[in-house]
Amino acid sequence: MGNQASLPCCHAAADKYELPGGHKTEVKADEVAPADGVSAKGEGHHPDSSQSQTFSNGNGTFVTSDPMEVAPELAPQQGLPYQFHVCGPPPPPCDDMRLRTINALKSAGSVRMDAEAIDAPPDPEIASILKLVQSIFEAPAALVALFDDRRIFIRDAEGAFQRGDFPWRWSFCGWTMASKNDQIMVIPDALKDARFCNNAMVKSGPGVRFYCGTPLLASNGHRIGTLCFADTKPREFDASRCVVLNNLAELVVRHLEKDIALQLRAHDNNSLAAAYGNLRRTLDCFDHCVTLLDTGTPGWRILFVNNPCCKALGIDRDSLQGSFLSRLLAEKDGAMLPTDEHQVAADKGEEFQVTARLSRVVVEELDRKISQTEQSTAGGQRFILTFRPASREDLDEGTISIGVPSFIPVAKKAQEERTDEGASTSSSEAESHAQQRRPDKLYFMLLQVLAGRGQGGRGEAAKHEEA
């Protein structure tokens, strides 16, 4: 949370100014552009900037009307502090290798950071995750940002922010690369943080006060972006909520890297292998079927399903999200999920496994969608379901862990964590609404298809199920 003034300046002198001839060149647009992205070269200039001044160092002579802009360039020679209000967040020492990773994603078609990407339809999977972030954390704004060469590109956004380039100078997200370890960044009150108290995003529109962003870790360990959300008022945040956001970031990365994974798995690709190096995330994890459930609602509401899960179940995303597990799946003896035993395990925060199949109602709906000449295999399909608390553990064994800073409290502080003891009857509805957003009630369901059980037909499943 402290001032990062001791960090070395990562600029080269020629990045901003032409040394020969003593002529001032234009400053990079992303370092002075306001929130709306419109060029504003005079923004943020020092009050005494009307007179040109000359500065010298070992690289040559600078001529500028704004000494605050040239101060970062002189920092290595004169021991001046890093001027993050001008330069923005410092890139990491491994930035060259990190850029090779983001370029590999571009070449594979997994990531686009151009004008066409701004006008493209929203990605259904990432849009679902962002809406989920807004819902779980009651966030007015959420976004997925990608990091290029001193450039922030908002790939998808919900709320106050929009797709497109964001000024590096005013970036919160870029600071997730400044920490030595892979960890989530939480800013409880931006006005109390030296890095952001004078930030244009804080002092003017949209008036950011709280920020929480977790890094998107590529399979080779490099940080390629963030999943984050912001609020216009200060907040308290606890470790369980951090873990939930970290797991959602894992889902974002797997979606972004799916094309890379397919190419690496299908054939040897020397350029991709050189860019990615040793993978910390196994290729098999990209096929994992993941569902996020709210176990605090009767029947366990389905909040999110990823693409592999939709394919495994043979049901589209819109039909699954917002529905209930109690309608979708049943145990092999016909008992609908979740049972009382499952609810008790979830209330205790335990991990457990269940063997299940599609319910008769769902199988009949799928049968009606299939041509009479085709044989349905949905009823004979069997699944192994693994339920894991989303607020206490990594998504699965393929997850790259992201840390939580030590200043983040483990104990829950939000009002929604109040117990039912002593709650008034008149507030029961509000308590129920808050209960649905409790992170300890969120569970991941990992679905694995049992091989060799897809030809049983609907009759085999129906005869075991209760009417």
Instruction: State pLDDT tens for residues 408-449.
Output: 998 654 444 444 444 443 444 444 344 446 899 999 999 999
245/295 same-domain check: no
- pLDDT confidence of residue 416: 45
- pLDDT confidence of residue 87: 78
242/344 same-domain check: no
- pLDDT confidence of residue 270: 67
Confirm whether 221 is domain-assigned. yes
At which of 35, 70, 87 does a domain end?
87
Where is pLDDT greater, at 45 or 91? 91
- Would the pLDDT of 225 be above 50? yes
Q: Are 287 and 262 in contact (CB under 8 A)?
A: no
254/292 same-domain check: no
Q: Which of 274-278, 366-370, 376-380 has the lowest mean pLDDT?
A: 376-380
139/182 same-domain check: yes
Confirm whether 425 is domain-assigned. no
Residues 214, 233: Cα–Cα separation, whole Å = 19
- pLDDT confidence of residue 38: 31
Structural domains counted in the chain: 3
Question: CA nearest 114: which of 161, 158, 148, 157?
Answer: 148
Q: Which of 118-127, 221-230, 377-386 has the lowest mean pLDDT?
A: 377-386
CA angle 241/389/332 to nearest 5° reads 150
52/140 same-domain check: no
310/258 same-domain check: no
What average pLDDT does range 342-363 have in this prediction? 95
- pLDDT confidence of residue 116: 86
User: What's the token pair of residue 241?
Assistant: 């909520």
* CATH, residue 442: 3.30.450.20
83/100 same-domain check: no
- Would the pLDDT of 228 be above 90? yes
200/150 same-domain check: yes
Confirm whether 76 is domain-assigned. yes
Q: Which of 8-12, 142-146, 190-194 has the lowest mean pLDDT?
A: 8-12
186/235 same-domain check: yes
Residues 275, 297: Cα–Cα separation, whole Å = 45
- Would the pLDDT of 405 be above 60? yes
Confirm whether 347 is domain-assigned. yes
What average pLDDT does range 122-134 have in this prediction? 95
193/110 same-domain check: yes
| pTM of the predicted protein model | 0.77
Confirm whether 56 is domain-assigned. yes
Q: Which of 134-138, 178-182, 353-357, 407-411 has the lowest mean pLDDT?
A: 407-411
106/78 same-domain check: no
- pLDDT confidence of residue 235: 95
Which pLDDT tens digit goes with each residue over 247-305?
999 999 999 998 887 777 766 666 666 667 667 787 788 889 999 999 999 999 999 99
Q: Is 179 exposed, middle or buried (0-12, 13-18, 19+ CB in 10 A)?
A: middle
- Would the pLDDT of 137 be above 70? yes
Where is pLDDT greater, at 307 or 21? 307
- pLDDT confidence of residue 428: 42
Mean pLDDT of the chain, nearest integer = 77
* CATH, residue 244: 3.30.450.40
- Would the pLDDT of 379 be above 90? no
At which of 87, 114, 133 does a domain end?
87
224/240 same-domain check: yes
Confirm whether 108 is domain-assigned. yes
- pLDDT confidence of residue 111: 87
Residue carrying structure tokens 């931006």: 190
What average pLDDT does range 111-137 have in this prediction? 92
- pLDDT confidence of residue 452: 61
At which of 30, 62, 87 does a domain end?
87
Residues 184, 181: Cα–Cα separation, whole Å = 9
Confirm whether 303 is domain-assigned. yes
Confirm whether 416 is domain-assigned. no
Domain span holding position 450: 288-404+435-462
- pLDDT confidence of residue 341: 96
- Would the pLDDT of 224 be above 60? yes
- Would the pLDDT of 200 be above 60? yes
- Would the pLDDT of 2 be above 70? no
Bridging pattern class, strands 185-187 and 289-294: unpaired
- pLDDT confidence of residue 438: 86
Question: CA nearest 237: which of 389, 2, 433, 411?
Answer: 411
Indicate the pLDDT class of residue 378, thresholds 50, 70 and 90.
low
Any bridge partners for residue 304, and if so which? 292
